């Protein structure tokens, strides 16, 4: 290209050799990256669908509408519907607190928020069992009021809250740190109440990051296995979320059923990815 427009400039042979070496190196890296990604991610994901549809669309569909599987889908959606709003409110509140106020324990809070990311979900599940189970102080106290905390929806929701609580806050904190409180203070001097300021100034500024965090949290709620497995008690047709149902079907030697259910989870993952990249494309500066 350059040689066409600037014919008089002759490239130094060393530069030509350097460029060639760069090209080879880059080509090799691209090849490795693509091959590795295909092997590690592409092929397994394709295999899920291949196995699920192996016996035809009709068999796939009967497996999906199997009452226990349908119930598992419903339970998973219900859990997400309960967990996400709480998560969003918590995330906004914590991000607000951390970016707008200085208080003792602020650094500790900032660190604790990250805890669910670094702790193994199964350990989290066991902790919840220990604290809220029937033999614990809280568990037996709740039991007196005929409230069961573990081995039911409550347990699943509690532990899902634990594993997802960082998502929204983590997206919001860096954004709210950068955007600062100038706009909020301006709103106050213009006569807006705290709520009006939040509703008309803060929220519009953080809405994309909020949505982004919520989508990630949603994917995690719907896909969580370890923690939920411990506290759900694995009661068939009662406390089986979709990931647990996949495991159950597989253990029952119903591989087609397991993979059919797995396609639903995979679909959720794909939708999550698409929404994520849509948000990133629309608001590149936010992420």
Partner 1 sequence: MALHIEDITKFYGTNQVLDQVNLSMQDGEFIALLGPSGSGKTSLLRIIAGLQFADGGRLSFDGEDITGVDARLRRFGMVFQSYALFEHMSVVDNVAFGLKMRPRANRPNKGEISDRVRKLLDMAEISELGERFPSQLSGGQRQRVALTRALAIEPRLLLLDEPFSALDTKVRKGLRGALRDLQKKVGIGAILVTHDQEEAFEIADRIAIMADGKIQQFDTPNNLLRSPATPFVSEFLEGMGSYHAAGAGI
Binding site for partner 1 (CB under 8 A): 180, 182-183, 185-193, 196, 200-201, 204-205
- 41/203 with CB nearer partner 1: 203
In the complex, least distance from residue 207 CB atom to partner 1, rounded to whole angstroms: 9
Residue 163 has a CB neighbour count (10 Å cut-off) of 23
In the complex, least distance from residue 178 CB atom to partner 1, rounded to whole angstroms: 12
- 255/279 with CB nearer partner 1: 279
Cβ atoms of 279 and 212 within 8 Å: the answer is yes
- 78/192 with CB nearer partner 1: 192
In the complex, least distance from residue 282 CB atom to partner 1, rounded to whole angstroms: 13
- Per DSSP, helices labelled H in 9-42 are 13-37
Cβ atoms of 72 and 149 within 8 Å: the answer is no
- Element at 216 (helix H, strand E): helix 203-223
- 85/194 with CB nearer partner 1: 194
Listed residue (271, 262, 226, 272) closest to 127, CA to CA: 226
Distance from the Cα of residue 269 to its chain's centroid:
9
- 22/193 with CB nearer partner 1: 193
- How far is residue 76's CA from residue 70's CA, in Å, rounded to a whole number? 10
- 24/186 with CB nearer partner 1: 186
In the complex, least distance from residue 62 CB atom to partner 1, rounded to whole angstroms: 49
- How far is residue 263's CA from residue 60's CA, in Å, rounded to a whole number? 10
In the complex, least distance from residue 85 CB atom to partner 1, rounded to whole angstroms: 23
- How far is residue 156's CA from residue 159's CA, in Å, rounded to a whole number? 5
- Residue count of the chain: 287
- How far is residue 139's CA from residue 144's CA, in Å, rounded to a whole number? 9
In the complex, least distance from residue 200 CB atom to partner 1, rounded to whole angstroms: 7
- Element at 122 (helix H, strand E): helix 121-132
């Amino acid at each position: 290209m350059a040689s066409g427009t600037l014919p008089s400039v002759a490239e130094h042979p060393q530069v030509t050799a350097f460029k060639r070496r760069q090209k080879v190196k880059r080509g090799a890296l691209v090849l490795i990256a693509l091959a590795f990604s295909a092997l590690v991610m592409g092929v397994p994901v394709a295999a899920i669908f291949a196995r699920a549809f192996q016996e035809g669309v009709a068999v796939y569909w009967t497996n999906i509408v199997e009452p226990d599987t349908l119930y598992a889908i419903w339970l998973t959606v219900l859990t997400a519907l309960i967990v996400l709003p709480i998560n969003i409110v918590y995330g906004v509140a914590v991000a607000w607190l951390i970016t707008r106020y200085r208080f003792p324990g602020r650094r500790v809070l900032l660190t604790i928020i990250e805890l669910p990311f670094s702790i193994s979900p199964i350990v989290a599940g066991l902790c919840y069992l220990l604290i809220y189970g029937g033999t614990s102080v809280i568990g037996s106290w709740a039991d007196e009021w005929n409230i069961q905390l573990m081995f039911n929806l409550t347990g699943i929701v509690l532990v899902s809250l634990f594993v997802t609580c960082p998502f929204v806050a983590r997206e919001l904190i860096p954004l709210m740190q950068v955007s600062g409180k100038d706009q909020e203070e301006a709103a106050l001097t213009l006569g807006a109440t705290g709520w009006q300021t939040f509703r008309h100034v803060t929220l519009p500024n953080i809405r994309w990051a909020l949505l982004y965090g919520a989508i990630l949290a949603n994917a995690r709620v719907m896909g969580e296995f370890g923690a939920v497995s411990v506290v759900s008690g694995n009661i068939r047709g009662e406390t089986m979320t979709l990931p647990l149902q996949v495991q159950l079907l597989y253990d029952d030697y119903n591989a087609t059923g397991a993979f059919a259910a797995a396609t639903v989870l995979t679909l959720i993952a794909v939708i999550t990815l698409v929404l994520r990249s849509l948000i990133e494309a629309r608001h590149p500066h936010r992420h």
